[in-house]
Amino acid sequence: MKSKILIFYAFTTVFLFWSTVSFSQKHKEKSLDSTLEANSEKWKVKQHQGIAGIAKPEFGNYTTLVAEKLDSPVIKKKRTDSSYIEGSFSGDGWDFSKYKTFEKKKFYRMILASGTDTFDLQFYLKVVSTEKRQALLSKMLSKNDENKDVTVRYEKKIEGMIISEDSIGTAHFFIEDYVSTRQITYENSGQNEPITGGYILLKKDSLFTEPVMQTFGNPKSKFSRMFAFQMQKGIFMNDMNGTHIALLGFGDQPFYIWVRRDLDATRRDAVAAFFAIIIGAKDL
């Protein structure tokens, strides 16, 4: 009975803490970049879920005409990285395990249109995961199989080209850990936690992303430090001088895009295509 009361009070304390944090965050939320937003067009994104898990986003004067998985074969690779043995006779038994890395690559295509211009987006999605797998002998000797088979690393990457006959020509792009929902704890912040990012390589120009992070809790407070974390809520697109030229905001609400009104056609179309890929591939 006493333990149930303690659990109840612990749950209530955590609930009240997060309610306070959520309330304060809601009322403290401010513009991500007031200068950018004041000088930009703002577009609400309609996702339009398509076939094969890929969406057909629509925003501003841009519409996705095609979103499909190509008929090319799925490329799969598997390798055993290492093996180890650990355990004791008095504990849970011996643990004979192997670390294995799995890699899968699929190819996709999207066609984005703006007026009479079309942009052919060709890319592949690569998923890499490293898993700890318990050997059969370990399962026979172990008293407890819990947490013996686990995924210790999981990454998603997108790489491809944007092809058009007009403003862009041919551009290359790369996106890493796109639209990740995983959180970053302050205690583990040095372990390369996933943050969506990438770049666009144009003929005579390069554009780079910058993450937009939101902090929950107070990492400097002794009480709330263990509950504090950061979550990515958007992506700035920067020019080579580090100036914010566009913004993709995401989260529980619909995607929103801000693009500077004075942006030239080449960079404007490249940014729109890049954001369309992030949105379209979100659920792959």
Question: Encoding tokens for residue 215?
Answer: 């902090």
* Rounded-to-integer distance, Cα 127 and Cα 142, Å: 31
Please, which residues have CB within 8 angstroms of residue 66's CB and are 6 or more apart in sequence?
56, 109, 110, 111
54 phi and psi angles, rounded to 5 deg: -100, 135
**Containing structural domain, residue 108:** 31-76+104-127+155-280
φ/ψ bin of 78: left (φ > 0), alpha (ψ from -120 to 50), beta (otherwise): beta
Assess whether 213 and 114 both reside in one domain. yes
pTM of the model: 0.76
* Rounded-to-integer distance, Cα 204 and Cα 202, Å: 6
CA separation, residue 250 to residues 42, 236, 253, 261 (Å): 13, 11, 7, 21
* pLDDT of residue 185 exceeding 50: no
Assess whether 185 and 221 both reside in one domain. yes
Question: Encoding tokens for residue 284?
Answer: 């792959």
Query: pLDDT by residue (tens digit) across 202-241?
Result: 988 999 999 998 777 776 666 666 666 777 888 999 999 9
Assess whether 50 and 24 both reside in one domain. no
Query: pLDDT by residue (tens digit) across 244-276?
Result: 999 999 866 678 999 999 999 999 999 999 999
68 Cα distance to chain centroid: 20
Question: Across all residues in the chain, what is the average pLDDT?
Answer: 77
User: Looking at the domain assignment, is residue 86 inside a domain?
Assistant: no
Q: How many domains does the chain have?
A: 2
Please, which residues have CB within 8 angstroms of residue 256's CB and are 6 or more apart in sequence?
42, 43, 44, 45, 248, 249
Assess whether 24 and 165 both reside in one domain. no
Question: Encoding tokens for residue 183?
Answer: 């959180």
Assess whether 14 and 50 both reside in one domain. no
User: Looking at the domain assignment, is residue 81 inside a domain?
Assistant: no
Assess whether 68 and 203 both reside in one domain. yes
User: Looking at the domain assignment, is residue 88 inside a domain?
Assistant: no
Q: CA-based Rg of the chain, rounded to a whole angstrom?
A: 23
Output the DSSP codes for 216-257.
Answer: ES-TTSTTTGGG-EEEEEEEEEE-TT--EEEEEE-SSSPPEE
Query: pLDDT by residue (tens digit) across 15-68?
Result: 444 444 444 444 444 567 888 989 999 999 999 987 778 999 999 999 999 999
